[in-house]
Amino acid sequence: MNGIIEASQLRYRYTPKAPPVLDEITLSVPAGSALALLGPNGAGKTTLLDLILGWRSPESGRMMVKSQNPSQLRRSEAGKLMSLAAQSESITFSFPVVDYVLFGRAPHLHQLRPPSRQDRETAMEALRTVNILHLADREVTKLSGGELQLVKIARSIAQQTEILLLDEPTSDLDPGNTVRIMEIMEQQKRLGITQVFTTHDPMIASDIATHTALIRSGKLLFFGPPEQALTSDLLSRLYSTPMSVHHAGPRRIIIRGYG
Amino acid sequence: MVLTAVSLFIGRYPTPGLSSPALLRDDSVFLQVFLQLRMPRVLTAVIAGAVLGAAGCVFQMIFSNPLVEPGFLGVSQGAAFGAALSILFISSAALPVQAVSAVFAMTGLFLSYWLARKFHFGGWILRLVLAGIAVSALFASGVGFLKYAADPVSQLPDITFWLLGSLTGASWSRLISIAPITLISLTILMMFRWRLNILSLQDRSSFSLGARPHLEKLLLLFCATAAAAAVISVTGLVGWVGLIVPHIARRTLGSDARNALPGSMLIGSIYFLVSDTAARTLLTGELPLGIITSAAGAALFIIILSRKGSGEHL
C-alpha cells in the first residue's frame, strides 16, 4: 500500500518536555480519497494537518507526502502540491475577495513576479466553482463567516493542488452553507483531489469521507473506512460520551446520547 | 515632480515666499543657495519621505499591525541615543552625529532581533515586537540620562533639536552618503511588492502558499530598517511619517501592496517635502520638522479615523 500521504509512527510535541500531542500515528491515504479527522477538542487534529503541510516536523516517525518529506520540499513545489484552508485566519488588511483568491496563485509564480491576467482568470474560475462570483469585489474583512469559508476554499482551489487540507471547513456554519461546502468537497473528490479535513460533525465524515481517522489524546483510536469507524461504540469512546449511530436508507444519522 | 520644482523656489531668500527662476541667472548668491542648500535639501526630503513611507508600509504589512512604524525595532531610539552620545562626547557637527546615530540605529535593530531569539514567549512576530519595545525603552532611558547630563546651554538644545527632526543639516555629501543604501532597499522592497500581500497573512497561511515567511520577512524588515536608519541618521526623529502615510495610501489606493507600497513612497515624499518646506519658510527661524509632521500627522489620523464609512478595518 502506497498512499499519497503516508505517516508512520509519528510523534510530535510542542516543547521537548511537554507530553506528546501526537503519538504512534500511522496511516496511509490513497490518492483521490477524502480523509476525515475526528476527535475531541485538543486531540491533535490540526497538528496532524500541520505535519502533513510540513509546517511542523515530527519528533520521530516519518511523514511522507508523495514519497517526499513535506518539511524539506522546496516551498514552491509544496505550494503546488498542497493547499490549506485554515480554520481561523485573521486578516488585517481589507483586500478585495478576488485579490485574496489570487494569492492562491503564489506558488505558481516566481516570488518577485506579480500575477498575470491568466492567474486572474484562474482566480475568477475558482470563484465560479465555489459559486461566489458575486462576492468578487467585496472586501474580505467584511464577509460573514460562511462567505469567508467559501472564499478560503476558493483560494485553495485557485492554488490548483493535488491535496486539499481543510481545517474544520464547516464549523460555525448554518445548515445551508454547510451543505454548500459539502457539495464543493464532493465535487473536488470527483475531480480526483485528495482531501484531508477535520470536523466535529461525524455525519459530515459519514457523508463525504472515504477514510476516517479517530484521534483521541494524540493517539489513533481507529483508522479505516467510515462504515467501520462510525459505530456507536467507537464514537462513544472517542468523545467519552454516549453516541448512537442510526441508519436511514444509505445515510447514517449520528446523535449524542443526552438525558 | 511639480512640487519638488516649486519647493526649490520657495524660501526666505532673497525675499520670503516664492522666487522667480530668473533670479538664478541674475543673483549669484541665490544660485548658491539654490544649488548648495535647497537642492540637496529638497532631494533629501523626497528620499526620506519615500523611505519612511515605504518602510512604514512594509512594517505594517509584515507585522499585520497597522500601528507599527519603521522606528519600531529599537531603531529610532537607538539613533537618538547615538546622536545624543555624539553631541555630548564627540561633536555636534553633522557628520559625526550622523555616523554615530546610524551605528546605534543598526545596533538597536540587531539587539531587538537578538533578544527576540532569546525570548521564550509567544510567536516570532510577538517576540520581535516585545524585544523592540524593550530595546526602545532601554535607549530612551539612555537618551534621558544623556539629556540630564548634557550642558543645558550648548549641548541640550542640539539634542532637543535633533530629537525633533530637521533637514537643516542636509547637504550633497550627506545625501550621497545615504543614497546607495536607501535606493537599493527601496528597489528590493518594490520587487517584493506583490509578495508582501502573501507575507501579510498569518505565517502558516503564507507558508501553505509556498512562501518562507520567516526568511522573507526578515529580509524585508532588514531592508526597510536599514533604509530608515540611514534616513533617521540625517533627519533626526521625524515622527508620524512612517505611521500615517501607509494609512493614507491604503485608504486611497487599497490594501494591495502593488499599489499601496509605491503609493506610500509617493505620499511619503509629498508629505515630507511639504512639511519641510513649511518648516523652513513659515518662520524666520527654522522650525523643527518633527513638530510639523507630528501635528499634521495626528490631525490627519483623527480625520481619517472619524470619517464616516471608515469601516472597522485599517
Size of interface A-B (CB pairs under 8 A): 93
CA-nearest of A101, A6, A91 to A52 is: A6
| Per-residue pLDDT tens over the stretch B132-176 | 999 999 999 999 999 999 888 888 888 888 888 888 888 888 899
Contact (CB<8Å) A103/B201: yes
CA-nearest of A61, A157, A66, A145 to A105 is: A157
- Which of B120, B206, B209, B312 best tests the A interface by mutation, with the highest count of A CBs <10 A? B209
Indicate the residue of B205, B210, B250 with minimum beta-carbon distance to A107: B210
Rounded to a whole number, what is the distance in Å from the CA of A48 to chain B's nearest CA? 14
Phi, psi of A237 (to 5 degrees): -70, -40
pTM of the model: 0.89
ipTM of the complex: 0.94
Contact (CB<8Å) B209/A82: no
Average pLDDT over residues B263-284: 90
Q: Are B221 and B62 in contact (CB under 8 A)?
A: yes
Tell whether B202 lies on the interface with A, counting CB pairs under 8 A: yes
DSSP, collapsed to helix, strand or coil, labels residue A70 as coil
Residue B141, phi-psi category: left (phi > 0), alpha (psi -120 to 50), beta (remainder): alpha
- Give the dihedral sign, CA A155/A158/A159/A164: positive
pLDDT confidence tier of residue A115, bands split at 50, 70 and 90: very high
Residue in this structure with the C-alpha cell 481545517, named with its chain if needed: A167
pLDDT confidence tier of residue B63, bands split at 50, 70 and 90: confident
DSSP, collapsed to helix, strand or coil, labels residue A230 as coil
Mean pLDDT value across chain B: 86
Contact (CB<8Å) A94/B210: no
Q: How confident is the model at residue B65, as a pLDDT?
A: 83
CB proximity list for B10: less than 8 A, separation 6 or greater = B17, B18, B19, B277, B281
